[in-house]
Amino acid sequence: MAERLPDLVREELAQPVDPRASAMAAAIAALYPGSARAVLFYGSCLRQSELDGLMLDFYLIVSDYRDAYPGIWLTVANEMLPPNVFPFAHEGLAAKYAVLSEADFARLNGPEAGDVSVWARFAQPSRLVWAADEAAREAATAAVARAAPTLLSYALPMAAPGADALDLWRTGFALTYASELRAERQGRSQSIVDIEPERYRRFAAAALPGLAPAPRAAQAWRRFRRRGKLLSIARLAKAATTFAGGADYLAWKINRHAGTTIVVRPWQRRWQILGALILLPRLLLRGAIR
């Protein structure tokens, strides 16, 4: 009998992580008493045994933005251009966390999302490292379970005839990477699948039966590319207002993934939005981000 996708997602989300990552997740949730619902750990650090010197990635899921923030600016920013992204440090480790409401997290993992940023990430492995209660755990699980079918439905019409499950995933990830400004090296979208091929076979076997190809997929991917690049720029500019040291983080991320030697100048730290907007065309021309 084929495995059910919600069961696979629940099993994967429950896998253990480094205790320091769990402690960091609990500390992030503690910053939002009364509104924090779940914290998910995702990204390349899931596969690392040594976390020192890395930037851990989390998503904080809250009940409502108005309950999460004391002021109106962060509330409006999160509602109009989700997510808000913040830096965090705990017990010697560095992280960033993105904030989404439960409603937005469910929506942005599904085919109704206007861009790929959330479902592209949660079609990949993640861990649910903190939850307020069982209802929050189940809501997060249901939202994550929407991501893989969304990616696969958009990839189906774009894959080569006769493509197997792994090639279908590779096609989907290559298209999502082309739909955002990314600092990773060429081939990163392919290596995601090659690291855990059996995981992706199991998820495809559970998600594909009865899954309809997305209509007008080629048109949708063109829209994702146009919108995704613009949203990446807008989110970068917004993060400069919420992310202390954002310019240094951006340079570190790009240097690490693209092999560049970008140096942030003092004025770019002082005027982070202007510095990011001036830096961006240079990075594009040099191929540091695509």
Per-residue three-class SS string for the chain: CCCCHHHHHHHHHCCCCCHHHHHHHHHHHHCCCCCEEEEEEECHHHHCCCCCCCEEEEEEEECCHHHHCCCHHHHHHHHHCCCEEEEEEECCEEEEEEEEEHHHHHHHCCCCCCCCHHHHHHCCCEEEEEECCHHHHHHHHHHHCCHHHHHHHHHHHHCCCCCCHHHHHHHHHHHHHCCCCCCCCCCHHHHHHHHCHHHHHHHHHHHCCCCCCCCCHHHHHHHHHHHHHHHHHHHHHHHHHHCCCHHHHHHHHHHHHHCCCCCCCHHHHHCHHHHHHHHHHHHHHHCCCC
Please say whether the beta carbons of 166 and 137 come within 8 A. no
Instruction: Give residue 223's pLDDT.
Output: 96
Q: CATH no. for residue 101? A: 3.30.460.10
Burial class (CB in 10 A: 0-12, 13-18, 19+), 44: middle
Report pLDDT for 288.
47
Do residues 141 and 12 make contact, with C-beta atoms less than 8 angstroms apart? no
158 with 218: CB under 8 angstroms?
A: yes
User: Considering the domain boundaries, does residue 251 fall inside one?
Assistant: no
Residues 6+ apart with CB under 8 A from 278: 268
Rounded to the nearest angstrom, the gap between the alpha carbon of residue 123 and the centroid of all alpha carbons in its chain is: 9
> Contact, 57 vs 41, CB < 8 A?
yes
Q: 20: domain range?
A: 5-244
Query: What pLDDT does residue 189 have?
Result: 64
The answer to whether residues 95 and 89 touch, using CB atoms and an 8 Å cutoff, is yes
CB neighbour class for 277 (10 Å; exposed up to 12, middle 13-18, buried from 19): middle
Residue 116 forms part of a structural domain: yes
Please state the domain count of the chain: 1
Is residue 287 domain-resident?
no
Residue 252 lies in a domain: no
C-beta separation of 5 from 207 below 8 A = yes
Q: Among 152, 147, 122, 142, which Cα is nearest to 212's?
A: 152
- For residue 288, tell me if it sits in a domain: no
For residue 168, being part of any structural domain is answered with yes
CA distance 46 to 178: 23
Q: Is residue 155 part of a domain?
A: yes
**Residue 60: what pLDDT?**
98
Give the chain's residues under pLDDT 50: 1, 288
55-62/84-90 β-pairing: unpaired
pTM for this model (two decimals):
0.85
The long-range contacts involving 66-69, CB below 8 angstroms and separated by at least 24 positions, are: 67/34, 67/35, 68/32, 68/35, 68/36, 68/99
Does residue 263 form part of some domain? Answer: no
The C-alpha atoms of residue 115 and residue 13 are separated, in whole angstroms, by 23
